[in-house]
Amino acid sequence: MTVCRPLCPYAEFNMKLLYNAYIRTQDPSHPTETAILIDRERIVAVGEANVLLSQYPNAEKQNMNGRVILPGLTDAHLHLKHYALNLQKVDCETETKEACLRRVAERVQKAKPGEWVLGHGWNQNVWENWPSASELDAIAPNNPVYLTAKSLHASWANTAALKLANITSQTRNPQNGQIQRDGKGSATGILLESAMDLVGNIIPEPGIHEIADAMEKAQSILWKMGLTGIHDFDRRDSFMALQQLHAQGRLKLRVLKNLPVELLDQAYELGLSAGFGDDWLRIGYIKAFMDGALGPHTAAMFQPYIGEENNRGILNMDSEELFEHGRKAAQVGLALAVHAIGDRANHEVLDAYEQLRHYEQENHLPALRHRIEHVQVLHPDDVMRLGRLNIIASMQPIHATSDMFMADAFWGERSRLAYAWKTQLENGASLALGSDAPVESPNPFWGLYAAVTRRRADGSPSADGWYPEQKLSMAEAWQGFTLGPAYAANMETRLGRLAPDYLADLIVLDASQDPFTCPVEDLLVMQSSATMVGGEWVYTSATGDGGLS
């Protein structure tokens, strides 16, 4: 067998030539083309169909029948293990508490006595009050029930679960957490922030095999949504399951794996650097949490929440402490990705990053691509600092439209600089967009819709959208889901555009579904009709005119 690449006549038989397509390359020198030539996992050429067809007569040809080809999308903030396992949980994202209780009751019927019943997705702001343990006890007297909130910053447990966790009226609040109590001091069943762990930690963990299987199922859902890569923010089990999938050749999604700051010492001792791994699975960032979230009012703010004059949220650490983490991480070439929602939290992170930039310079270390996760609301004085310090704004467009009424209610005027991605772009920050799934659906087309309309699917709050000056153009938003995450992963030379030597990660959309020209509402129902990762068709829709012939 002759092994040669890329232009010898034998190799040509292994090449794929997709022609008669409308290709949006994101390569500024050739923004659109009609054919793409792929050799194994890489793109060899992008050009005019006539030219490539005559140059490569022996390549395997696929007529795309005028369909649109675009670079595959990457979700820059996703919890793959949680998302995958959540697909198996009771969906608690209901309009009313009663509807949620009905779903839980159905699952309880099928569960064995004593078996845990898990659910996710409720939001007390939608239900207009906090639920309680007794409501679950009525439908689940013999099964422990544990339902996490959509924000992942609160949970709702029944009495059986509280008992197993030994939570009584005597139990003290853990640091950075709260056991919600009634007038008599008894636990209501609601656990906030770190108090969630009191129950969360006693739930039997699924094994690595189970997680890997769940991830594999999730992966096919992600391909259909148009995703070819993710930046994963889950932990050890997630990493082990991903390695297992990879070793077995079942991982067909580009994964940037981030590590929790609690493991920084171990990473440092090991000398583990960003980029270790390969183009499928590689080490990314050190992830730290600066504060909580808007939903449970735990995001750290300079000024109190509206209607709660003593509540400014919870700050987990100050800028000094974060800087110390950053300094250590920099020794082994790991950048920071720090969760910051409130304006105070973002301010502290920016102070730490400013110090870190000086430190990098003084010590002749590379300027790492640090990022802030969420950047949900900024103090006016901090708006320009991400751009100035060259910090990546890792934002989730769909959070804006999900949270806008809460933001107006609890942050008021401050919301002018909330979810303000256009302001960030204009001030020189680069954007890496994502979903924070399972907090939101990972469907990137819903994210794109939110980014360019600032509206919900139902059209609220208005035709113009919420703070419409923050709308992105489709080109900016698409870039935020492709080149932006590629840059954050130090992979912008091989991911995020369709050009020679780039990895062949792409999606195919129907000819009438070009997101750049179709009615914006079409984004809400858009799906990939075929997805290629590393030169392999990993997903093709069963429908259509004979598929990809």
Number of residues that bind Zn ion (CB under 5 A): 2
Q: Which is nearer to Zn ion, 144 or 177 (CB)?
A: 177
Q: What SS3 state is found at 413? A: helix
Q: Which is nearer to Zn ion, 343 or 436 (CB)?
A: 436
Q: Work out whether 440 is an interface residue with Zn ion (CB under 5 A).
A: no
**Who contacts 324 (Cβ-Cβ below 8 Å, separation ≥6)?**
none
Q: Which is nearer to Zn ion, 397 or 534 (CB)?
A: 397
Q: Interface mask (CB under 5 A) for Zn ion, residues 73-102, using x and -?
A: ------------------------------
Min separation Cβ 92 and Zn ion, Å = 18
Min separation Cβ 407 and Zn ion, Å = 18
Q: Interface mask (CB under 5 A) for Zn ion, residues 395-434, using x and -?
A: ----------------------------------------
Min separation Cβ 233 and Zn ion, Å = 5
Q: What are phi and psi of 314, to 5 degrees?
A: -125, 120
Min separation Cβ 261 and Zn ion, Å = 14
Q: Which is nearer to Zn ion, 11 or 215 (CB)?
A: 215
- Decide the pairing of beta strands 73-78 and 281-289: unpaired
Q: Which is nearer to Zn ion, 117 or 196 (CB)?
A: 196
Cα separation, 304 vs 410, whole angstroms: 9
Amino acid at 382: D
Q: Which is nearer to Zn ion, 192 or 439 (CB)?
A: 439
Out of 348, 436, 505, 510, name the contact with Zn ion by CB under 5 A.
Answer: 436
Min separation Cβ 83 and Zn ion, Å = 11
Q: Which is nearer to Zn ion, 62 or 435 (CB)?
A: 435
Q: Which is nearer to Zn ion, 189 or 442 (CB)?
A: 442
Measure Cα distances from 502 to 236, 392, 478, 494, 505 in Å: 30, 23, 17, 4, 8
Q: What are phi and psi of 91, to 5 degrees?
A: -80, 110
Q: What SS3 state is found at 15? A: strand
Q: Are 46 and 26 in contact (CB under 8 A)?
A: no
Min separation Cβ 509 and Zn ion, Å = 28
- Decide the pairing of beta strands 530-533 and 392-395: unpaired
| Among 47, 74, 67, residue whose Cα is nearest residue 508 | 67
* DSSP state, residue 60: E
Q: What is the radius of gyration, based on Cα positions, of the chain?
A: 24
Min separation Cβ 82 and Zn ion, Å = 9
Min separation Cβ 196 and Zn ion, Å = 15
- Decide the pairing of beta strands 254-260 and 281-289: parallel
Amino acid at 426: E
Q: Which is nearer to Zn ion, 27 or 436 (CB)?
A: 436
Cross-strand bridge partners of residue 308:
305
Cα separation, 476 vs 430, whole angstroms: 10
Q: Which helix (H) or strand (E) holds 537?
A: strand 536-540
Min separation Cβ 434 and Zn ion, Å = 9
Q: Interface mask (CB under 5 A) for Zn ion, residues 220-239, using x and -?
A: -------------x------
Structure tokens at 435: 């979903």
Q: What does the binding site for Zn ion look like in residue numbers (CB under 5 A)?
A: 233, 436
